[in-house]
Amino acid sequence: MNVVIIDYGAGNIQSIRFALARLGITATLSDDVAIIKNALHVIFPGVGEASSAMEKLRATGLDKLLPTLTQPVLGICLGMQLMCNNTAEGKTKGLGIFDTDVVRFETKLNVPHMGWNTVSGKGVLFQNIDQNSHFYMVHSFYAVPNEDMVGACTYGVSFAAALAKDNFFGTQFHPEKSGAVGASLLQNFLAL
């Protein structure tokens, strides 16, 4: 299976590779436009800061490429946030794939939101996954609930834990760090 993880200097790539390897998939790490275009599935990872991550995408032209992809694309954490219209982190303009904005948690709870939390999900990503399964989160910003929301979570406020629109998918949580349910979600994505 031809799976490409986009290489743009964002963290968390090795844990994604290990999670895919546990599923029998050897993923290619690349920032090459031709390789990404020819992939069967694309994973857009992200751990880091939004404005510097977007600068790296612009420097390689990946900001123009990503919205034009026609194969299944999965954005994880910051990857999903950068697929939205805008993020308050660094006042960054996103890729505009998902029609929502990303804002900072304003809550009395500890920020960042870190650890396991339940997600109520629907649609193809959540097939054969129980409602309110626990997924692993690490984030200080969140996508505002919107019509593309297929997974909901609450941490002082309700937020979009998963998004889906056409061939684009995103998870605020880290499926690669979420044990068996995360592996199931990755398998569901790879089956598309």
Write out the two tokens for 5: 């993880």
Of 8, 19, 23, the residue nearest 78 (C-alpha): 8
The CB density around residue 109, as the number of other CB atoms within 10 Å, is 9
What pLDDT digit, counting tens, does each position of 83-96 carry? 999 999 999 999 99
Question: Is the per-residue pLDDT at 115 higher than 90?
Answer: yes
Answer for the pair 135, 155: CB distance below 8 angstroms, yes or no.
Answer: no
Number of domains observed in the structure of the chain:
1
Question: Is the per-residue pLDDT at 10 higher than 80?
Answer: no
Residue 46 — pLDDT band, cuts 50, 70, 90? confident
- Please give the radius of gyration of the chain, using alpha carbons only, rounded to the nearest integer: 15
What pLDDT digit, counting tens, does each position of 17-43 carry? 999 999 999 999 999 999 999 999 999
Answer for the pair 167, 173: CB distance below 8 angstroms, yes or no.
Answer: no
What pLDDT digit, counting tens, does each position of 140-178 carry? 999 999 999 999 999 999 999 999 999 999 999 999 999
Write out the two tokens for 102: 């990303």
Write out the two tokens for 82: 């950068």
In angstroms, rounded to a whole number, what is the distance separating the alpha carbons of residues 77 and 82? 9
| % of the chain surpassing 90 pLDDT | 95
Residue 48 — pLDDT band, cuts 50, 70, 90? confident
Peptide bond into 112 cis (omega under 30): yes
Query: What is the residue range of 19's domain?
Result: 3-190
In angstroms, rounded to a whole number, what is the distance separating the alpha carbons of residues 130 and 122? 10
What pLDDT digit, counting tens, does each position of 65-114 carry? 999 999 999 999 999 999 999 999 999 999 999 999 999 999 999 999 99
What residues are annotated to the active site?
77, 174, 176
- Left (φ > 0), alpha (ψ -120 to 50) or beta: where does 156 sit? left
In angstroms, rounded to a whole number, what is the distance separating the alpha carbons of residues 22 and 134? 20
Question: Is the per-residue pLDDT at 11 higher than 80?
Answer: no
Instruction: Kindly report the CATH number assigned to the domain that includes residue 133.
Output: 3.40.50.880
Q: What length does the chain have?
A: 192
Ranges of beta strands (E only) in 22-165 are 28-30, 41-44, 73-76, 84-87, 92-93, 98-104, 113-121, 133-139, 141-143, 149-154, 158-165
Of 68, 48, 43, 12, the residue nearest 186 (C-alpha): 43
Residue 47 — pLDDT band, cuts 50, 70, 90? confident
